[in-house]
Amino acid sequence: MDELNFAIYGCKKCRLWQDAKHGVPGEGPINAKIMFVGQNPGVEEDEVGRPFVGKTGKYLTKVLAENGLSREDLFITNIVKHKTPKNRKPFADEVAACLPYLLEQIRIIKPEKVVLMGKTAWLTPRFNGIKYYEVVHPQAASRFPKMGKKFQEQIKAIMR
């Protein structure tokens, strides 16, 4: 995993590194049973090189805690490892360039469940033997009450 992280820190496979301060590989136990995958790091994540530390991350952490899940118990990352300009959706070629990193993380961690948050993360190819769940992105969930309700129901259902 360390080698993979170093590869991400120095990666120039797509244009996104040019606008970013840090690569954000993701964090969590290497033997996590559950992985959460979002779209891309934001400005706050880029500042510190850690995933989901901003407003959306705080919301996600709260919803997970309400469902008995501690951030420390799961591996959390994004389908794209550098922030995007003005937090725009990653382009298809950026997702394609970055995807091998996520797939390698899944191969190393071998989780039982992978929760894909938001439509961009839903593009992740699936491995046999792992349960995948598609949920709304917590950023949308934190902003729109209807989406928030749906997100909370989805997380509750996964934990059941």
Which residue, 67 or 87, is less far from ligand SF4 as judged by CB? Answer: 87
Beta bridge partners of 147: none
Which residue, 12 or 119, is less far from ligand SF4 as judged by CB? Answer: 12
The distance of closest approach from Cβ of residue 115 to ligand SF4 in the complex, given in angstroms and rounded to an integer, is 20
Q: Using CB under 6 A as the criterion, which residues of the chain lie in contact with ligand SF4 when the complex forms?
A: 8, 11-14, 16-17, 23, 80-82, 94, 97-98
Which residue, 77 or 154, is less far from ligand SF4 as judged by CB? Answer: 77
Find where tokens 């994540």 sit: 45
Which residue, 47 or 158, is less far from ligand SF4 as judged by CB? Answer: 47
The DSSP line for 83-132 is: --GGGPPPPHHHHHHHHHHHHHHHHHH--SEEEEESTTGGGPPPPTT-EE
Instruction: Collect all residues with Cβ–Cβ distance below 8 Å to 144 and sequence separation of at least 6.
Output: none
Please state at what angle helix 92-109 crosses helix 2-9, rounded to 10 degrees.
160
The distance of closest approach from Cβ of residue 64 to ligand SF4 in the complex, given in angstroms and rounded to an integer, is 25
The distance of closest approach from Cβ of residue 82 to ligand SF4 in the complex, given in angstroms and rounded to an integer, is 4
The distance of closest approach from Cβ of residue 88 to ligand SF4 in the complex, given in angstroms and rounded to an integer, is 13
User: How far are the Cα atoms of 18, 108 from residue 37, in angstroms, in the given order?
Assistant: 23, 15
